[in-house]
Amino acid sequence: MIGQTVKEILLENEDHFLVDSENVATLQDTNTLEHAFLVLTNIGYSRIPVVDRDEKLVGSISLSMVVSEMITTKEIDPDLLAIKKVSEVMDQKVKCLQQPFDIEKTLNLLVDANFAHVVDSEGVFKGIVTRKEILKAVNHLVHELETRYHLENK
């Protein structure tokens, strides 16, 4: 459990945690894997969120997931990417956050991922919280804690 003082300092810049959905590359579940390959390679991210036509988060997809779909036992066939849809390959088990952020849950999700998806109560994709933004908050914490408080060993 995170102590209240630490939690308060970590959340001082909470308004900077969210990268708004308008600034996040996404794919639609109906896109082809060919389109997914182009998007993922052009933006340089290894994984991005997948939304449906109502902007609800339905999964995420990685470059390695797409690439594995064009590899057969005999050859690499990029034409296979035009046949399949993102919905057929994407990871549908996506853990999400909601605002206001539960900092402990956020930290736990970002141990194994570069970002965490943020949705509203209806499942509409609102953006992401990146490990980088949380590390900025941790950096702020380690620089502020001893300037604000006198710490003593128990």
Which has more confidence, 56 or 46? 56
Res. 152: pLDDT tops 90: no
Sign of CA dihedral 47, 48, 49, 50: negative
The CATH code of the domain that includes 61 is: 3.10.580.10
Write the DSSP symbol of residue 84.
Answer: S
Residue 26 counted as domain residue: yes
Write the DSSP symbol of residue 95.
Answer: -
pLDDT at res. 31: 98
What's the domain count of the chain? 1
pLDDT at res. 151: 84
61, 41, 65: which is closest to 49 by C-alpha?
A: 61
Residue 153 counted as domain residue: no
Res. 85: pLDDT tops 90: yes
Mean pLDDT of the chain: 94
Which three-class secondary structure state does DSSP give residue 128?
strand
- Domain of residue 20 covers 4-148
Beta-sheet strand order (sheet of 96-97): 18-20, 125-130, 115-119, 96-97
pLDDT at res. 150: 84
- Tens of pLDDT, residues 100-115: 999 999 999 999 999 9
Residue 86 counted as domain residue: yes
Res. 48: pLDDT tops 90: yes
Extract the tokens encoding 115.
């970002």
Residue 9 counted as domain residue: yes
Residue 154 counted as domain residue: no
Band (61; pLDDT cuts 50, 70, 90): very high
pLDDT at res. 73: 86
- State mean pLDDT over 8-16: 92
Q: Is 14 exposed, middle or buried (0-12, 13-18, 19+ CB in 10 A)?
A: middle
- Tens of pLDDT, residues 18-47: 999 999 999 999 999 999 999 999 998 889
